[in-house]
Structure 1
């Protein structure tokens, strides 16, 4: 039986299943984070939020784009980590955490600005 993606499973040896499960749990945590970002974007777009309309639209788009890109980047990260595990190599570094931190920092600053501005 062949497993997908072949680019991951054709290299190295079968690792201890606990390492693969840990890698999968990390991937699923990123997927949950993506769903949370999408839920925040939908809530911001759907509900009457006392904020500057332009600020609200920008934050909604930033959250939506992050929510769309995160699963794809997470899949690439999972595959790179799984290949490293299968080849007994060190795990690759992650830019994903830095990018998500910056997105959430921007979101937080925008929320503070929106709360500080007078209601239209």
Structure 2
């Protein structure tokens, strides 16, 4: 159900679209506010790269579970692999989003955005790790 033209739903959609456009056109971020100290921008970029490395590790772990644990019951193996692959995909997308939000906040002189994503990601990885411990201890083979 869409709101009237110019209504709250259009504003939300426009804001979301503008945010996504910044992912592929980061130069537009430079049009806002004042240029921060380059050290802060570089620190933001290093954080982004750390998130991307984490995403790659999660994707690699998902493929490893699927390819190197063929004796696991199919549902367990696929469930663990998909959880890791999904976490990797979310982490990669969140990395871009977080980089843009932090860069905009620094340029505007605002507080850095708060996020629950590290907690969610940690909980998901913890659940997968506990599931793997259970698999190792009980040896659920197919």
TM norm structure 1: 0.89
Instruction: Tell me the equivalent position of 2:51.
Output: 30
Which digits, 9 at most, give the CA deviation of each residue in 1:3-43, with x for residues without a partner?
x3244221110110000000000000000000000110111
How many aligned residue pairs are there? 117
TM norm structure 2: 0.76
Task: For residue 102 of structure 1, report the CA deviation from its aligned partner.
Answer: 1.2
Instruction: Tell me the equivalent position of 2:8.
Output: none
Q: Does 1:20 align with 2:41?
A: yes
56, 68, 74: which is aligned to 1:53? 74
Q: Which segments of 5 or more consecutive residues in structure 2 lack a partner in the other structure?
A: 1-24
Query: Greater shift after overlay, 18-27 or 56-65?
Result: 56-65
Structural mapping, 1:18-97, within 5 Å: 18-48=39-69, 50-97=71-118
Q: Which segments of 5 or more consecutive residues in structure 1 lack a partner in the other structure?
A: none
Q: Which structure is larger by alpha-carbon Rg, 1 or 2?
A: 2
Query: Greater shift after overlay, 51-60 or 101-110?
Result: 51-60
RCO comparison, higher one (Cα < 8 Å, 6+) = 1
Whole-angstrom CA distance in 2 between matches of 1:84 and 1:60: 36
* Equivalent pair of 2:69/2:77 in contact (CA under 8 Å): no
Query: Greater shift after overlay, 13-22 or 107-116?
Result: 107-116
108, 113, 116: which is aligned to 2:134? 113
Which digits, 9 at most, give the CA deviation of each residue in 1:42-91, with x for residues without a partner?
11111135533321110100111111121111111110100111111110
Distance 1:111 1:35, change over 3 A: same
Higher normalized helix content (fraction of residues): 2
